[in-house]
Amino acid sequence: MFYREVGQYKSSYPADQAIFPLSNDRIGVMIILLIAFIWPPLSGSQYLMGPILTQLLVFGLAALGLNLLTGYAGQVSLGTGGFMAVGAFGCYNLVLRLPEIPIVIDFILAGLMAAAVGVLFGIPSLRIKGFYLAVATLASQFFLLWIFDHVGWFTNYDPAGVASAPTQTFFGALTGEGRALEFLAPIDVIVSGPNATPETKYVLTLAVVVVLALLAKNLVRGMTGRAWMAIRDFDIAAEIIGIRPLRTKLLAFAISSFYCGVAGALYVFTYVGNADTEAFDLIRSFTILFMIIIGGLGSVMGSFLGAAFIVLLPPFLNIVASNLGEGTLSGAALANLELIVYGGTIVFFLAVEPLGFARMWQIVKEKLRQWPFPY
């Protein structure tokens, strides 16, 4: 009833191959995007925009990056935190040392740096598979963080090793007085640093994430995505039908790391405002792997659903626990209960639906198609 696809005929190939071939999906996505762009800034709630939505988007993007690698190309990686750190510290240095560059270009360059590092650490994937590969990618995680901890240049010799996002405007320093892009100054806004408003940061994050998510959606249904899936499903067979494993796997590592790198840069510039290596530790890599497993391997939307689940569950449990537990349970008991419920929920969802939220969403769609007349 609510989700009818009857009567939608495709009369041309482009129509059939659109990203969202169904008008229902198209309209739905647009409405969601519209709400996402308008409602939070209007609500003015910093809590909603900052720790809830921006965090969700940043980690959703990182999860999407990992999903391209693990969900589509079948290469399990536990080095996400390391690649995010490359993006984060890369972007920090770009903005610090070359303030002329517009921030969006900084994000892209930071992503490319992460991609280069990703390719380097993706080389072992040619020989190692499965868990062995996952554990081997931990090398990148530990090694990269160690580098950022030990080479002071990356954090501009901060005594505590904290990279703090400088104030930067959208178009960069070129809009300054007498510079090339001065005419853009009136529409230029501060997007990072202490003076940026939460609204700007949120909208910028959302815009970057939406663009990259659409790109990913496009990527996975084209040649590249199909090659990845072939490698994932059976690498030897894929090789026989003419897919080059070297190129395909490394491309997956590159693009995945690109996404993670941009996510890391967003983390520093639009979410927290500063970061040290602790922000990209091993636990981070594990959480992001969690996100894509809970959300659904091989699904763009699933990455974001999983991120929402993992990002929102701890504060949710915390709020519920502190409201319920007032006076009845000690703080320690509540904190431990929270851990138990967190872990338990993860196990529960894995047991009930190992294909994740993305699969659940599909089931819902199927039900909606017929509801309220199931037969």
Task: State the minimum distance, in angstroms, from the CB of residue 276 to another protein.
Answer: 5
Task: State the minimum distance, in angstroms, from the CB of residue 60 to another protein.
Answer: 14
Nearest residue (CB) to another protein, 18 versus 188 = 188
Beta bridge partners of 169: 190
3 state SS of 20? coil
Full DSSP string of 251-312 = HHHHHHHHHHHHHHHHIIIIIISEE-GGGGSHHHHHHHHHHHHHH-TT-HHHHHHHHHHHHH
Nearest residue (CB) to another protein, 30 versus 237 = 237
Task: State the minimum distance, in angstroms, from the CB of residue 292 to another protein.
Answer: 10
CA neighbor of 255 nearest in space, from 94, 105, 71: 71
Radius of gyration of the chain (CA): 22
Nearest residue (CB) to another protein, 160 versus 187 = 160
Nearest residue (CB) to another protein, 64 versus 272 = 272
Nearest residue (CB) to another protein, 176 versus 315 = 315
Task: State the minimum distance, in angstroms, from the CB of residue 15 to another protein.
Answer: 31
Q: How far is CA 88 from CA 16, 75, 155, 262, in A?
A: 39, 23, 10, 8
Nearest residue (CB) to another protein, 37 versus 342 = 342
Task: State the minimum distance, in angstroms, from the CB of residue 5 to another protein.
Answer: 20
Task: State the minimum distance, in angstroms, from the CB of residue 164 to another protein.
Answer: 8
3 state SS of 79? coil
Nearest residue (CB) to another protein, 21 versus 315 = 315
Tally of CA atoms within 13 A in the half-sphere of 363 that contains its CB: 7
Q: How far is CA 299 from CA 66, 181, 218, 325, 348, in A?
A: 11, 40, 12, 37, 20
| Helical ranges in the chain per DSSP H | 13-16, 23-43, 46-47, 55-67, 80-97, 103-122, 130-150, 198-220, 223-233, 235-240, 245-266, 282-295, 300-324, 331-352, 356-370
Task: State the minimum distance, in angstroms, from the CB of residue 215 to another protein.
Answer: 26
